[in-house]
């Protein structure tokens, strides 16, 4: 092989190694993404990974006294969705650095295709006041929903 071809092959191999290193770095950056969302009072907190997978749910000891099960479930779903959206935006930011110009990383990640953006700032914990539900105006501060009603009692 001539010296010119050898130099070309060596340069191609060096480019290949750099590309592999950049790919490994991007993979590490993507896999380290975690977004947290919590209620304003901190009674419910969720952590979501880079693909929107729920990693952790933290509940205050007294959350069951303040929220009915359906309300708590809805709170967890809303917080998870908000954290997943933020994680997706962070993943898009990471990918934008390595994708060709003009490529929309949000579309590659299955993001927002209608152009509407989320008003929640990036890289900040999301806070929701889910302790007030407009559809439920009952007072559960005494924990009465935890005790069975007459129909559920078996004694």
pTM given for the model:
0.62
Q: What is the distance between the alpha carbons of residues 37 and 69, in angstroms, rounded to a whole number? A: 19
Model pLDDT, residue 146:
55
Model pLDDT, residue 97:
86
Which one has a higher pLDDT value, 13 or 152? 13
- The structural domains of the chain, with segments of one domain joined by +, span 1-32, 34-113
Q: CB burial class (10 A; 0-12, 13-18, 19+) of residue 35? A: buried
Question: Average model confidence (pLDDT) for the chain?
Answer: 78
Q: How many CA atoms lie within 13 A of 84 on its CB side?
A: 16
Give percent of the chain with pLDDT exceeding 70: 68
Tokens 């490529």 belong to 103
DSSP-assigned beta bridge partners for residue 56: 47
Domain 34-113 has CATH 3.40.50: no
91-145 confidence digits (pLDDT tens): 888 888 888 787 777 776 765 544 444 444 444 455 555 444 444 444 444 555 5
95 in Cβ contact with 111 (< 8 Å) = no
């Amino acid at each position: 092989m001539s010296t010119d071809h050898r130099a070309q092959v060596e340069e191609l191999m060096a480019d290949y190694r750099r590309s592999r290193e950049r790919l490994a770095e991007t993979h590490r950056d993507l896999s380290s993404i975690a977004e947290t969302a919590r209620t304003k009072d901190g009674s419910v907190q969720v952590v979501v990974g880079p693909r929107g997978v729920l990693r952790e749910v933290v509940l205050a000891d007294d959350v069951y006294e303040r929220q009915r099960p359906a309300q708590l479930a809805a709170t967890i779903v809303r917080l998870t969705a908000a954290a997943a959206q933020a994680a997706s935006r962070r993943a898009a930011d990471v990918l934008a650095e390595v994708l060709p110009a003009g490529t929309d990383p949000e579309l590659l990640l299955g993001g927002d295709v209608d152009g509407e953006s989320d008003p929640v700032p990036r890289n900040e914990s999301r806070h929701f006041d889910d302790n007030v539900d407009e559809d439920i105006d009952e007072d559960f501060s005494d924990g009465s929903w935890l005790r069975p009603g007459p129909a559920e009692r078996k004694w």
